[in-house]
Amino acid sequence: MNNACPRCGAVYAVSTRDSGRRLKCKKCGIPLAVTDDGLVADSPAAAPPTPAFEEIDDLGSVQPKVRRSRVKSMDLIEAIGGVPTVLFGIGLFLVIVFYFMPRISEASVNRAKGRVDRIELEATQKLRKEMKEPDEIEKLPPDAQQEYYKNLEKRRKEINKELKPRKEEAADDVAYAEIDRKRSEWWDRYGLMFGFLFLAYGCVGFIRGEQHLVVKIVGAAILVTMMIFVFGSMGGCRANV
């Protein structure tokens, strides 16, 4: 007696005493009927090959073993446009990140230099508080003017001595920022290279796959642009990246 679903091969515990009963397959959902010969489809349905891996469920039927996580992952990839779209997205992310990294490093250097300028401005502002207006200086006797300039120079040296540790620390920050910028260039180039590779694979997938004509044209245009950029850089027309 046939006790397997004619479509998916799921096996049910049925016997001749169940003849005449109607049920629905828990695996593929087609309506089934129990006859003297066993399970038959209530409506015509093509039965696919029986799955190679099976496991028994709690109801006594044999169900095909499906790797659900893998199926869900593939469904997710297909939902977002397939493998070419994933590769294109990864490549675009890497290109954007490593295109801006050198500019961020340069901004870090400028930020450190700005701290030096700020300390210099602070020294100027402190000395400015000790200075008098030109009209007031002219009204002073010659001896008083000399004494004024002497005290002003003394005060300038005191301010520079007071701010010297901060100036040296700020200058060290500039040096470290310059070193970090030079060292990060190695990673920036590698990241940009891998970004271009992922983009290239994604564009090739768009061109060769069953995509809309517009998508194929866009993929081809991006691929050609990248090739021009790469060969232009190799030929000496280096872009500021």
pLDDT (0 to 100) of residue 63: 47
| Two structure tokens written together for 17 | 């005493």
Task: List the pLDDT tens digit at each of the 241 positions of the chain.
Answer: 677 888 888 887 777 777 778 888 887 878 888 887 777 887 554 444 444 444 444 444 444 454 555 556 666 666 666 888 888 889 999 999 999 999 999 999 999 999 999 999 999 999 988 888 888 888 888 898 899 899 999 999 999 999 999 999 999 999 999 999 999 999 999 999 999 999 898 888 888 877 778 888 888 888 888 888 877 776 655 544 4
| Two structure tokens written together for 38 | 């066993």
pLDDT (0 to 100) of residue 43: 58
Distance CA 75, CA 73 (A): 5
* Residue linked to tokens 């209530």: 42
Q: How many helices (H) and strands (E) does the chain have?
A: 5, 5
pLDDT (0 to 100) of residue 71: 56
Which residues partner with 34 through β-bridges? 39
Distance CA 101, CA 83 (A): 27
pLDDT (0 to 100) of residue 226: 84
Domain boundaries of the chain, sorted by first residue: 1-66, 85-234
* Residue linked to tokens 């502002």: 125
pLDDT (0 to 100) of residue 57: 46
pLDDT (0 to 100) of residue 11: 80
Residues with Cβ within 8 Å of 8's Cβ and at least 6 positions away in sequence, in order, are 25, 27, 28, 47, 48, 51, 64
